Amino acid sequence: MNKIYSMEKINVWLKKPFPFYENIQQKLFIPTFFTLIIVLGIIILNYSNKKYFSFANTVDIFGYGLVVILVSLLFSLFFPAIFPKLFDPEKWNIQKTLIFLIVSVITIGIVVGIIAFYKENPNTSLLFYIFRIILRSIILSILPLIILVFIAERRLYKQNNKDVIEIMKNIKPNDLLRTSNHKFIFAKNTKDEIIINENNLFFIKAEGNYCYLFYEKKGEIKKSLIRTSLKSIENIVSVSNQFIRCHKSYVLNLEKVNNVTGNAKGYTFYLIKNDYKIPVSRNISKSVIEKIKHSIL
C-alpha cells in the first residue's frame, strides 16, 4: 500500500508544470551550465589519474566539453524549432524535462564515446565502449539533475505562489478602476464589422493567422473569428488600460480576472462568468503581475 502511495506521489510530481526555455538567454545559459557540470564530473572521475594535470589531458577535457555544449545547444535551439508541438511550453512538465535531459545525456555519451573510441583505440568493441560511456554519463548526471529540477520547481512554485497570495488578498471582481468605455471595431471581413464595448470584451486568443474574440452579448459569452494578427488587436485595444498582452497567444481584459493561481511554470488567470483560464508567459509575467498589483491594491 505504501509503495502504491509513493508511486502516486512520484507520478503527481512528474506531472507538475515546469518551464521550458523561453528566450535565447536561457537557451544559451542552461546548456553552458549543463556542460560545466559534466566537465566537472569528468575532472572528478579522472582525479586519481597521475596524468590528470598534463597538457594533453586538459585539452581532452575541454575538447569533450566543447562536444557537450554543441550537443546541448542542438537540443535547446534546433529541436524545439523543428518540433514545436513536441516542445510546447504550455504542456511542458517535470517528466518531459527529465526525459529531455536524459536523452541529451545519452546523445552526449554516444558522441563522446565515438570520439574517445577512435582516439584511444581500446581493446573492445565500439558498441560496448559507447554503452559503458553512456552508463557512466547517466550514473554521473541523473541524481544531480533530479535534485536540480526538484529545487528549481520548489523555488519557482514558492516565488509565484507568494505573488498569488498577495494578489488574492485584495482582488475582487471589477476592482480595476474603469476610466472609460471605448467601443472597439473589429473587421470580420471586408463587409462585416464587429463592434464590442470595452467592458464586454473578455479576451482575444490567436490561432495562426486568425484571432478569436471572446465577449459578452445579452448576458452570454460569444466567440467570433476574424482574420487578423494579435499584434493588430493589441494596437486596437491599447487605448484602454484594462487590456494587456499576457501571453504570445492572448490579450486579456484584466477587469475580468477574479482568480489567480501559480505554479513553477508561472501564473494562470481565471475569468468571471466562465470557466476560461488564461496562461501568463514567464518572460512577461513580472510586468503583468506588477500591473495587476498597482491596479487593484
Task: Rounding to the nearest 10 degrees, give the CA dihedral for residues 236, 241, 243, 246.
Answer: 120
> Which homologous superfamily does the CATH classification assign to the domain defined by 170-296?
LytTr DNA-binding domain (2.40.50.1020)
The DSSP string of 208-251 is TTEEEEEEEETTEEEEEEEES-HHHHHHHHTTSTTEEEEETTEE
Measure the N-to-C terminal CA separation of the chain; round to a whole number of Å.
48
Strand order in the sheet with 277-280: 257-263, 266-271, 277-280
pLDDT tens, residue by residue, 199-209: 889 999 999 88
pTM higher than the cut 0.85? no
Average pLDDT value for residue range 40-68: 61
For the record, the C-alpha cell of 36 comes out as 560545466
- The model's pLDDT over 76-133, given as tens digits with 9 standing for 90+, comes to 888 888 888 888 877 888 898 889 888 888 888 888 888 888 877 778 888 888 888 8
**Domain segments of the chain as ranges:** 2-159, 170-296
> Which amino acid makes up residue 198?
E
Backbone angles phi, psi at 134, to 5 degrees: -60, -45
Amino acid at 153: E
Mean of the pLDDT values across residues 219-238?
Answer: 89
